[in-house]
Amino acid sequence: MGTDILIPEPPSLPPASLPSASTAPASPTSAMESPIKLDRPFKIIVQRETFLIDSECMKKMSPIFSIMCYGKDFDKMELSREIVDEKSADVDVFLKAINDPSVISVRNFTTILRLANKYQVERLIDECEQYVLTNKLTLLKPDEVLTLLLAAHDHHINKEAMVVLIRRLAEEEQTTFNRLKLSRFCPATIYGAVVGANLNLGQLREMEQMNGHFYKMERNKTRWRRSTCDSCKSISEHTAHCDGCKKTLCKMHTQSIGCASEYGRRMTRELRANIVELDWE
């Protein structure tokens, strides 16, 4: 189970109260007062705080809580357990998130996701993934995105959420990567995915400016060379050969003459759909 369980005499210190089990699957409340009738009230003691939960609800969503609340190695008259390897503040926010997922934020995401995995609360893991998928990550600072990404990697959330976080971080400049020390803090797989996505985004921006033409590129920039433009017949220092329509055009006619072939547009669509390359099971 990963959690040491003891049975001391619980102190009478009230944690934050939450709504009843009739309105939510989990219902931690104060150990001193129980304003609602629980199917089977059970005390969780953490440091100097006591949380009262509905064990019937908790056992349905967590096999670990099922063992904690219904195991054979405790006094059934007492109906309590002590968790000695967690902080009361962490358990408090974890129980609150079970009852109300809207409390999930950048500040507590790592804690909630860690405990959701530890106690195998799949519903809460899904809520953490939805937090990533439904929030506007563009409003977050790069440091905050990195915090979410590292937690997501450590606790192996689904690939869709991982891709969203990697793409958001990849939108930053190389100077930001250096400041965040990505190569030091990120696992090799994640660091490679972020850097690769950053290069792909640069290439995509360049391709989107080529009016459907598909030119060879170097370091995410079109490889211009000195040649004769097939449209204006003049020699230009900035011409490129399109692999789609097979024409050599200068910069001006690249913008004024769209490519007759769909090849460049198709390649652009494919790149746009596969910005992040991540091997994640």
Amino acid at 59: K
Residue 223 CA to residue 203 CA, distance in Å, equals 12
**29 or 118, which is more confident?**
118
So what's the pLDDT on residue 217?
94
What is the tens place of the pLDDT at every residue in 5-47?
333 333 433 333 333 333 334 445 444 344 455 567 888 899 9
Q: Per-residue pLDDT averaged across 41-55, rounded?
A: 89
Report the run of H or E that residue 147 belongs to, with start and end: helix 142-154
What is the tens place of the pLDDT at every residue in 162-219?
999 999 999 999 999 999 999 999 999 999 999 999 999 999 999 999 999 999 999 8
Residue 170 CA to residue 275 CA, distance in Å, equals 10
Report whether 238 contacts 224 (CB < 8 A).
Answer: yes
Torsion, Cα of 163, 167, 168, 170 (10° steps): 140
The pLDDT of residue 73 is above 90: no
pLDDT-derived band of residue 280, with 50, 70 and 90 as boundaries? confident
Residue 87 CA to residue 111 CA, distance in Å, equals 10
The pLDDT of residue 117 is above 80: yes
The pLDDT of residue 151 is above 50: yes
The whole-chain average pLDDT of the chain stands at 86
- Assigned token pair, 281: 């099971």
On the 0-12 / 13-18 / 19+ scale of CB atoms within 10 A, 280 is middle
Residue 75 CA to residue 82 CA, distance in Å, equals 12
So what's the pLDDT on residue 17?
36
CB neighbours (10 Å) of residue 93? 20
pLDDT-derived band of residue 71, with 50, 70 and 90 as boundaries? confident
- Assigned token pair, 89: 């503040």
Which residue, 149, 138, 60, is CA-closest to 113? 149
So what's the pLDDT on residue 56?
87
- Biggest CA–CA distance in the chain, Å, is 94
- Percentage of the chain with pLDDT > 70? 84
Across the strands, what pairs with 41? 54
This prediction has a pTM of: 0.81
So what's the pLDDT on residue 77?
60
